[in-house]
Chain A
Amino acid sequence: MIHASDLIKYFGGKRALGPVGFEIRTGETVGFLGLNGAGKSTLLRILSCDLRPSGGSFSIRGIDGVRDPHAVRQLVGFLPEVPPLYGDMSVGEYLRFAGLLRGMSTEQVAARVPEVEQLTHTANVHGELIRHLSHGYRQRVGLAQAIVHEPEFLILDEPTKGLDPAQIAEMRTLIRGLKDRHTVLISSHILPEIRETCDRLLVLRDGVLVASGTPQELSARLQSRRIAVTVLPNHDSLEPAAIEASIRRVHGVRNVTSTGRVDGALSFVVEAASDIRAEVCRTLVGEGHGVIRLDRADQELENVFLELVQGASSASG
């Protein structure tokens, strides 16, 4: 389990992260979502013990990452945004070096490197110098070094950055294949990439956590606050503004937008602090209008994400 509490990181006088707190259970695959500069990389670098936090604490499997980073590093494999590759080494040499650095014996490394190359589809470039590899292969070698010592926790910072669609699909498949063996933490600013691989999302904005939950939960949380209403007015000549005014009188309504008129029926989208479908229905029917449609407004998860990371008023988490 990973437990973080009030983590803060300052770079100079600027706060890059925090305070942030969360828990990640063993075996989970968790995505950290946020726009560039939201603090994702800083958080992942702290969890992989590359950086020390300015404040707060975190533990991985009960080991304090601030007091005993050396022990935590043995449990973690880290793929940073730019894979740490030595261009002058061949893939095989590099993976061997990474394994030995992580405390594996020569025999263990000799047995493990072919396995990892098989797993990451890099066996065919075993003897090639890393500087001659394509971006996609470099990313795979980066992933291979992160898992060569079979860490319990795998931290991947934007693992598909700069890859083409085919390579992204391949990387996703690779990561999905790792879920059974590792607790995986992935950061990204691209929602589809993370939605398909993660059990849970933590959304960061300006260094703080603004939401967490499964992709479905996050979507439902915002959707419950947006209602689509279609009303058949009690008079044909009634203007949309009159209905709007009726809806606005319902307690909790923040905004009402008229979305059109079809065959005399007026449609609106209502934004509210909570699910107020029953109250809206009661009010409109009480005034003699016919309610022919009343449900949660459809919203793509991408829009939910944008509202969360850009700080829309309705996305208070």
Chain B
Amino acid sequence: MRAANVIFRRELSEYLRSPLGYIVAATVLLLDGLLFYSQALGPAAGERLSGEVLARFFYNTSGLVAIAAVALSIRLIAEERQTGTLVLLSTSPVREWEIVVGKFFSALVFLGGITLVSIYMPLLIMVNGKISLGQVFVGYTGLILIGAACLAIGVFATALTRHQLVAVAVAATTTAVMFLFWWLSLVIDPPLSRVAAGLAMHARHFQGFQDGALNLRDVFYYLAVTYFFLLVAIKVMEAKRWE
């Protein structure tokens, strides 16, 4: 665990001093702000309850968090493989899971930081209306959980290849498929439609978080997706040594 902590700290400082971290943060916050303005404060926003505006904010932000998670995760392992620095980790007394966990949590903390900076938007709603702090807390919990699941998919993709473009394609496709299970559930018959709906990353599982309802089933779903993809990433890294 000690090595995971050493890797975590290095990776986090890498985000803080590299342009990538700031570009992702700036893009996410800009788009989030524009969406918030258009749907909550702007002339086209119309009359809405504060709770609805907050739910809409979490809905929009969850999509941006998913995209940011993919963008932040891509360099984690693929870049190290490409530049040859992974050799330092793989010839040190560090286990594969420590590499994966250290890198995953550094990206998660950075993503969490970006997400929490958006707190000024719920605060603006609070100034102009009335919202429950519970809904804010549950909404942000949902954002962190969906971010963690998408990051885990990104870590899995970046463990697969030394080419960052390939990693982006794999991560984006896998994430899109996880989101599109919801659409699939609408066009196929039961019982498969229920399976697809259960696997869908957004619609059913995030709904509760954006409305302020904390369901343990949804929490478990995101943790399970995160655990699954991190585990596969670890297995991929172990298998790479046998190639």
User: CB within 8 A of A85: which of B10, B85, B91?
Assistant: B85
User: CB within 8 A of A49: which of B18, B85, B88, B91?
Assistant: B91
| B236 CB within 8 Å of chain A | no
Q: Report whether B17 and A88 are in contact in the complex, using a CB–CB cutoff of 8 Å.
A: yes
A88 to B242, CA, bound (A): 30
Chain A residues in 8 Å Cβ range of B94: 73, 101
Chain B residues in 8 Å Cβ range of A84: 84-88
Tell me the interface secondary structure of chain A in the complex: loop
A70 to B89, CA, bound (A): 12
Binds B, one of A74-82, A210-218, A278-286: A74-82
Q: Report whether B93 and A74 are in contact in the complex, using a CB–CB cutoff of 8 Å.
A: yes
Q: Output the least CB separation between B97 and chain A (Å).
A: 12
A54 to B241, CA, bound (A): 10
Chain B residues in 8 Å Cβ range of A101: 3, 6-7, 88-89, 92-94
Q: Report whether A98 and B88 are in contact in the complex, using a CB–CB cutoff of 8 Å.
A: yes
A152 to B14, CA, bound (A): 31
Query: Quick one: given A84-B85, A84-B86, are A76 and B91 in contact (CB under 8 Å)?
Result: yes
Interface size on B, residues (CB 8 A): 23
- The total of Cβ contacts below 8 Å across the A-B interface reads 60
A78 to B94, CA, bound (A): 14
Interface size on A, residues (CB 8 A): 28
Q: Report whether A100 and B14 are in contact in the complex, using a CB–CB cutoff of 8 Å.
A: no
Chain B residues in 8 Å Cβ range of A52: 241-242
Q: Report whether B87 and A103 are in contact in the complex, using a CB–CB cutoff of 8 Å.
A: no
Q: Output the least CB separation between B56 and chain A (Å).
A: 39
**26 contacts across the A-B interface (CB closer than 8 A):** A11-B243, A48-B91, A49-B91, A50-B87, A50-B90, A50-B91, A54-B242, A73-B92, A73-B93, A74-B93, A76-B91, A78-B91, A80-B84, A80-B91, A84-B84, A84-B87, A86-B14, A86-B85, A88-B18, A97-B6, A97-B10, A101-B89, A102-B92, A102-B93, A103-B2, A103-B3
Hey, which bits of chain A sit against chain B, CB under 8 A?
11, 48-52, 54, 70-71, 73-74, 76, 78, 80, 82-86, 88-89, 97-98, 100-103, 145
